[in-house]
Amino acid sequence: MILQIDNVEVAEQGLLSLQVAEGRIIAMGANLLCPPQAERWDGEGMLLVPGLVNGHTHAAMTLFRGFGDDMPLMEWLQTRIWPAEARLSEEDVYWGTRLACLEMVRSGTLCFTDMYWHFPGVARAVEASGLRALLGAVMIDVAGEDQARACQRMAENFLEQSRDFSERVQFTLTPHAIYTVSRNSLAWVRDFAERHGLRVQIHLSETQQEVQQSLQQHGLRPALYLDQLGLLHERIILAHGVHLDDEELDRIALRGATLVTNPVSNMKLAVGGTFPYRRAASRGIAMALGTDGAASNNSLDLFQEMKVMALLQKHAEQDPTVLPAEEAWAIASGARAAVLGQSGRVAVGEAADFLLLRQDMAETTPRHHPISNLVYAATGHCVDSAVVAGKVVMKHRKVADEEEILQQVRSRAQQICHESTTP
């Protein structure tokens, strides 16, 4: 089956048509002949761009949006989030992830990197939504050896189960952080990931407390501790990375690891620093943009996140030329982080993952600089339609099962959060 979209605008190429087959873009150009069996629709002069990539989130935490706002990080985790998460079922996580996918596709995100419980529920939700995702189950072993072995068995089982899903679901290993996962378990992650060629996700250097604890316990700053363990490599995704010194950044660059900045969540939880973009960029470090979970953001709209990322860096460096719009867009579309598997390009031969954006909205008028409009003025409401792997997952802002998703999450979230705070 061929999909042809006519009358769309592609940056620096003007108005043209685009053909998609077997999940890839097979032709782009003016006056393309449409095969008789093709599905054809008019792009109405909309802007065609690559889908955005959420480099770090906890999708099902949409269930906890607004539950525990304005609290310190550890108090928020210990008194609200962890007690609520202990009550989650796989079906709760499924519906929470469905809501996240709904919110993300409506705001332009077509691929996301997720760390959460109940991997099968998350994977089923991704399959149902039509999006792409790098998924894993959280690994924490603060309770000791029994918990560590249970996490290892879980990872082994989930790797096997992941083979039953489509190529849009990629299994990763997801140790939570160096302060919640033991040295022995991190070594197991290193070996298992190497044996199976898996990517690894981990929170790193989000707070000064984590850095001080690492220095006290290991005599090393967090990134250097990971390197000592052999976990700092081109397949690891480091979320947050706020409190990294120059030696750590040098090592991250040397090993080819990827940093994911989450500016809104970091500011909301007051982590006491700003992601070192300029120092990371000067070293050529791979970078991506994430929202973190909806419990600490509280939005999954990467358009809003892009603007905050760019403005925060300009403010912190006292330099308006830092992180210009084109670079912010490249980071948000995955073009600066090969490990996420998205090129950030719309071209023949690339995966057919793209957005159609309305250009007739107030916030994108006038069009002196379309990319500046997208980074500094637009929100996810500018997204009209979305295609992933050649299949239309949203057309004219209509998404399948939207009302059922909203109803399920309303009832489940109310019950979970009520029970978790009831003595």
Is residue 192, in this structure, part of any structural domain at all? yes
Average confidence (pLDDT) over 303-332: 98
Same domain, 46 and 96: no
Backbone angles phi, psi at 393, to 5 degrees: -100, -15
Average pLDDT, the chain: 96
Q: What is the pLDDT of residues 261-316, one digit of tens each?
A: 999 999 999 999 999 999 999 999 999 999 999 999 999 999 999 999 999 999 99
Same domain, 43 and 57: no
Does 118 lie in the same domain as 168? yes
182, 260: one domain: yes
Question: What's 327's domain CATH number?
Answer: 3.20.20.140
What pLDDT is attached to residue 371?
95
pLDDT above 90 for 164: yes
* In a shared domain, residues 236 and 195: yes
pLDDT digits (tens, 9 = 90+) for 234-264: 999 999 999 999 999 999 999 999 999 999 9
State which of 318, 340, 362 marks the end of a domain: 340
**Is 12 a residue whose pLDDT tops 80?**
no
Total domain count for the chain? 2
Q: What is the mean pLDDT of residues 195-216?
A: 98
Burial of 193 (0-12, 13-18, 19+ CB in 10 A): buried
302 shares its domain with 212:
yes
Judged against a pLDDT cut of 70, whether residue 423 lies above it is answered with: no
Q: Is residue 357 part of a domain?
A: yes
Report the distance separating Cα 92 and Cα 98, nearest Å: 10
pLDDT of residue 285: 98
Closest CA to 394 of 186, 101, 184: 101
Give me the CATH number covering residue 11.
Answer: 2.30.40.10
373 and 248 part of one domain: no
In a domain, 89, yes or no: yes
* Residue 13 pLDDT grade (very low, low, confident, very high; cuts 50, 70, 90): confident
Give the confidence band of 199 by pLDDT, cuts at 50, 70, 90.
very high
Whether 125 and 35 share a structural domain: no
Q: Binning pLDDT at 50, 70 and 90, where does residue 11 land?
A: confident
What is the domain extent for residue 254? 52-340
Q: Is residue 422 part of a domain?
A: no
Query: With the CA atoms of 130, 291, 330 and 171 taken in that order, what torsion angle do they form, in degrees rounded to the nearest 10?
Result: -50
- Do residues 33 and 110 both lie within one domain? no
Residue 355 lies in a domain: yes
Pairing of strands 39-42, 174-175: unpaired
Judge if 206 and 323 occupy the same domain.
yes
Question: Average pLDDT for residues 395-416, to the nearest whole number?
Answer: 96
**Residue 420 resides in a domain:** no
Share of the chain above pLDDT 90, in %: 93
Residue 202 within a domain: yes
Average pLDDT for 207-214: 97
Answer whether residue 422 shows pLDDT above 80: no
% the chain with pLDDT above 70: 100
254 and 230 fall within a common domain: yes
- Any domain includes 412: no
What does the pLDDT look like over 17-36, one tens digit per residue? 999 999 999 999 998 999 99
How do residues 97-143 score in pLDDT, each as one tens digit? 999 999 999 999 999 999 999 999 999 999 999 999 999 989 999 99
Boundary-marking domain end, from 314, 340, 366: 340
Do 247 and 312 lie in one domain? The reply is yes
